[in-house]
Amino acid sequence: MKKTFATVLTLAALTGTTALAHYGMIIPSDSMISQEDGRSVGLTLSFSHPFEGNGMVLDAPVSFSVTHEGETTDLMGDLADTEVMGQPAFMLDYPLERPGTYVFAMEPQPYWEPVEDSFIIHYTKTYVSAFGDDEGWDAELGLRTEIVPLSKPFGLWEGNVFQGVVMLDGAAVPRAEVEVEYYNEDMSATAPSDLMITQTIKADANGVFTYAAPSDGWWGFAALNTAPETMDYEGKDKAVELGAVIWVNFEEWTGE
């Protein structure tokens, strides 16, 4: 019994970070671009444990696109290599030609996670408003799984709630589990318990979840579901975790 317990502890120590939440990430230079900010937005695409600052390799995505005024444009050819948290990632500077909301979305390659004995596919997106126009802020892209915003996914004060509905294969997911994690970019946030690195909430019967962010900055919401199909890994069928990830920025409250 002692040996088994020791083995478990050793395994946990070795794999502790990988057992925590993975997040596909799309972080823009700003979620609200004004005309004084210029005519483009910078974006970085990465894969990480964002609270702990542990980066992972992001292989070339299956797709990366922007949707504006109902039109989706492939941006795969515009990605350039970079590093985020010391790991390979991608970046681009995207020109904003007109006002409105631009939705950037990435489908990564399936990531094999040995600790969970499954593949992970996190469909990741973020919303950027250009030139004071928020039209399109609630756009549903029709991704296999996604969080459709019920709160405007930009222009939120710290302490505001963010609400979204979890969609999978075109239908809302009752009681969907949603993991929430802060992008601890400057590593200034500390967690008194591992339970507070990734917070977990559940959607209601209509697939709607609500979360109030305690501070400004970027917060990632990942709704996780298991796909009905499996994928092959070394001749064996393995489960596939489908993640609907959205990154939302909360602004610092400026009042007293």
Partner 1 sequence: MRTLIIALAVIGWATASVAHQLIVFAFVEDGAVIVETKFSTGKIPISGEVRIFDAENTLLLTLPLEKDGTVRFPLDPDASTQGLSIEVETSEGHDNYWVLTPDDIERGTEN
Query: Between 7 and 35, whose beta carbon lies closer to partner 1?
Result: 35
The dihedral region occupied by 123, where left means phi > 0, alpha psi between -120 and 50, and beta the remainder, is: beta
Q: How far is the CB of 164 from partner 1 (least distance, A)?
A: 22
| 149 belongs to the binding site for partner 1 (CB under 8 A) | no
Q: Is 9 exposed, middle or buried (0-12, 13-18, 19+ CB in 10 A)?
A: exposed
- Residue of 17, 35, 200, 206 interacting with partner 1 (CB under 8 A): 35
Residue 135 vs 169, nearer CB to partner 1: 135
Q: Decide: is 98 part of the binding site for partner 1 (CB under 8 A).
A: yes
Residue closer to partner 1, measured from CB, 40 or 199: 40
Strands 208-212 and 217-233: unpaired
Asked whether 129 and 138 are in contact (CB, 8 A), the reply is: no
State the nearest-atom distance from the C-beta of 14 to partner 1, in Å: 53
* Look-up of token digits 């671009």: 33
The total of other beta-carbon atoms located within 10 Å of residue 80's CB is 8
Distances in Å between the Cα of 34 and the Cα atoms of 40, 113, 121, 131, 133 are: 10, 40, 33, 4, 9
69 part of the interface to partner 1, by CB under 8 A? no
Asked if residue 36 binds partner 1 (CB under 8 A), the reply is: yes
Residue in 14, 39, 73, 194 binding partner 1, rule: CB under 8 A: 39
- Applying CB under 8 A, among 16, 132, 170, 214 the residue interacting with partner 1 is 132
Closest to partner 1 by CB, 37 or 185: 37
Applying CB under 8 A, the span of 18-26, 68-76, 93-101, 236-244 interacting with partner 1 comes to 93-101
Neighbour count for residue 162 (Cβ, 10 Å): 22
DSSP 54: E
Closest residue by Cα to residue 166 from 198, 199, 144, 135:
144
Binding of partner 1 by 50 (CB under 8 A): no
Least gap, CB of 99 to partner 1 (angstroms)? 5
Q: What residues are paired with 84 via a beta bridge? A: 87
Interface positions with partner 1 (CB under 8 A): 35-36, 39, 97-99, 131-135
